[in-house]
A and B are shown apart, each in its own frame.
Chain A
Amino acid sequence: MSGDALLHIKNLRTSFLMSDGVVQAVRGVDLSVKRGEFLGIVGESGCGKSVTMLSVMGLLPDNAAIKADTLTFDGKDLLSASPREMRSIHGDEIGMIFQDPMTSLDPLFTIGNQLMEPLRIHRKMSASEAERRAAETLEMVGISSPAQRLKQYPHEFSGGMRQRVMIAIAMSCSPKLLIADEPTTALDVTIQAQILELMKDMKEKSGTAVVLITHDLGVIASVCSRVVVMYGGLIMEEGECGDIFYDPLHPYTKGLLASVSGMGSGEKKKLVPIPGSPPDLMNPPDGCPFAARCAFAMKICAAATPKLTNRGGRLAACWMLRRKLTA
């Protein structure tokens, strides 16, 4: 697609080999991230958001098979990169905030150690310089008494504090690309706003591109310029933030937006989830993965998977839209 993309993914397919079959977690995803852009990825739990980005970083277990037609970052081919090359990109040019802070923080090392390591390795800072910088970053993410906190271990931090440590580590080297997987799930709105502000700042100052994975549509609305909607290992819709929110094309996007309202008002009414369940990724359907739950499904929807089609500059994968195009 575009030559100036920082991250370019074409036809990514990631599957996991299990004792009883193969889980096809990502089934053909095309995604480009431009320099300095703020891209949001949304979609139901288990739809493949994390696996997509972990595939890019080559951070999946041994039973994973990653295939793609193209997978490049800043002109470098990631598919053929050695583990050593990947390690030097990770933490320097690409910062990653994992969904699981506890599994990515080492319980045996102090918070200070873990914050200083990338600064010493990638930025070649001296110990005292790295320590000063580490304390500053802790304060930036709203953690007080930083000198004391640097000497503590992950289990002595609250859930949201660990998440903020992860954010501080990923941002410390001002990477070209920041992948943030549900970075603010454990954070209250005040600190969440502060963290999003920090990310926006880094984007302005260092031209960092941010890929933000979140189920929180409020967060997407407040910072992202472009949004990708995933379902069942595929992209359903992609577009400008305003278009997606005010004029969604895909029935799944519409359902997603509709289920937001209803909560938070004084009345106690029953919440309405999208009926049905997500597809079995071991035996994915031949057609559109959303067809079984879609109120508008037609015969063709169960038979063949619709491609992501451009409709007046907007992209969506839905047979209804293709109909309208050809009609």
Chain B
Amino acid sequence: MNGELLKISDLKMYFRVRDVSSWLGAHRSLKAVDGVSFGIGRGRTFGLVGESGCGKTTVGRTALRLYRPTDGSIIFDGADIAGLSDKEFFPYRRKMQMIFQDPFTSLDPRQTVGDIIGTPLTVHHLVSNRSERAERVKELINMVGLRSDHIGRYPHEFSGGQRQRIGIARALATMPEFIVCDEPVSALDVSIQAQIINLLEEFQEKFGITYLFISHDLSVVRHISHRVGVMYLGRLVEAGEVNELYENMLHPYTKSLMSAVPAADPEAAKTRRRIILEGDVPSPLDPPSGCPFRTRCREASAVCAEQTPPLVDVRSGHMAACHKLSIKG
């Protein structure tokens, strides 16, 4: 590894939301991300998985400074960007891009695809004239499996998966050093998924791009990531090198998450055994004391309600946050 491009330490992102139980219009805080730390090596991919609403997108958006973090540091290429003003942050914009989870709201409905992809090229002086820009746009649009005659169309004139690919072409256009890919292939069929994943890997090999890859698809994450982190209710509960993590899961939450993957096989679907999680999904508005997972954990004991287990290195770089492991260890 040649150093870490991004290092996030004890990142917290709390949102202020209206408190419905108060008549006075008081606010309370929603702890979307509550003390997350991880680093991503240059030219490597960190996969982030976890239940819907656990804070993955918020981690990604905060890392790109689309939100101002409540607390913690974000070191990008040696500099702490967490506290920079918008103006100070501008030079980083080109280097850090995002493929958004919801492609439609992130594409300007009044711009053609050619402008959506071409404008950042002009703004960041990556092309010197119109024809060069048109050439580059065409190249990018073809790379994501769309046709050149799509360039003059508007976002609403595309299918869901086509829109997602427009967002991917836009993120790749400025040749960034770092991309947060938020569910980049979730709306795509397997064949185009394969094409896009190959493309992302090719860019990584050629240009050394670093990815934070958010996805609920555990097999895609396994394929593309070097390291993987598992989130639960705003915290990282496990992290490790990809094969080590998938083969030796340590945290009870990771185990249940992995057991639920549906196979493309109708017979297997009838007989498959899942670890069904009991109990209600806890709320980030009202998180349980101690370990966030303890309300649904079969192995929980008294200590789990009292103390939050820290993320500790269990076995050469494979980290987990679970009291069971530290007792045994």
Interface residues of A (CB under 8 A from B): 16, 18-20, 23, 42-46, 49-51, 61, 99-103, 139, 142-145, 147-148, 150-152, 156-164, 181-182, 185-193, 215-222, 241-242, 245, 255-257, 259-260, 262-266, 268, 270-274, 277, 280, 282
Contacts and interface: CB of A to CB of B under 8 A. Distances in A.
Nearest to B214: A159
11 contacts: A42-B189, A102-B105, A142-B281, A145-B286, A159-B102, A185-B183, A220-B264, A221-B264, A260-B190, A271-B223, A277-B145
B191 A50 contact: no
Nearest to B30: A156
A185 to B, nearest CB: 5
A144 B282 contact: yes
Contacts of A163: 52
Closest 8 CB pairs of A and B: A160-B52, A264-B219, A45-B161, A218-B262, A271-B194, A215-B189, A217-B264, A144-B283
B20 interface: yes
B100 to A, nearest CB: 9
Interface in B192-244: 192-195, 197-198, 216, 218-220, 222-223, 243
Contacts of B159: 45-46, 49-51
Interface in B73-99: none
Given A186-B52, A188-B52, A274 B187 contact: no
Contact of A185 (B57, B147, B187): B187
B298 interface: no
Contacts of B198: 270-271, 273
Given A159-B57, A222-B262, A245-B264, A45 B187 contact: yes
Given A190-B260, A263-B223, A158 B160 contact: no
Given A102-B102, A189-B218, A189-B261, A45 B160 contact: yes
Given A182-B160, A215-B161, A255-B191, A158 B52 contact: yes
Contacts of A150: 20
A135 B269 CA distance: 31
B305 interface: no
B156 interface: yes
B261 A218 contact: yes
B101 A159 contact: yes
Nearest to B242: A266
A181 B159 CA distance: 12
B156 A218 contact: no
A159 B53 CA distance: 8
A159 B183 contact: yes
Contacts, number: 203
A19 B198 CA distance: 34
B285 interface: yes
Using C-beta atoms within 8 Å of the partner chain, give the interface range for chain B. 35 or more
A188 B264 contact: no
B14 to A, nearest CB: 13
Nearest to B102: A102
Given A182-B187, A263-B219, A270-B198, 19 more contacts: A20-B152, A45-B159, A45-B161, A45-B187, A99-B187, A102-B104, A148-B20, A157-B53, A188-B50, A189-B261, A192-B262, A222-B262, A222-B269, A245-B264, A255-B191, A262-B194, A263-B194, A268-B223, A277-B147
B263 interface: yes
Q: Which of A50, A142, A181, A186 has the most CB of B within 10 A?
A: A186
A241 B153 contact: no
B75 to A, nearest CB: 26
B304 interface: no
B191 A44 contact: yes
Nearest to A266: B243
A266 B218 CA distance: 12
Contacts of B263: 218, 221
A187 B216 contact: yes
Contacts of A145: 283, 285-286
A310 to B, nearest CB: 22
A152 B57 CA distance: 18
B51 interface: yes
A143 B285 CA distance: 12
A23 B53 CA distance: 38
A148 B183 CA distance: 27
Nearest to A158: B53
A42 B192 CA distance: 13
A53 B21 CA distance: 42
B112 to A, nearest CB: 11
B19 to A, nearest CB: 8
A220 B295 CA distance: 32
Interface string B13-39: 001011111000000000000000000
B51 A190 contact: yes
B223 A151 contact: no
Contact of A144 (B15, B102, B153, B281): B281
- Residue among A51, A222, A241, A255 with the most chain B CB within 10 A? A222
A217 B191 CA distance: 12
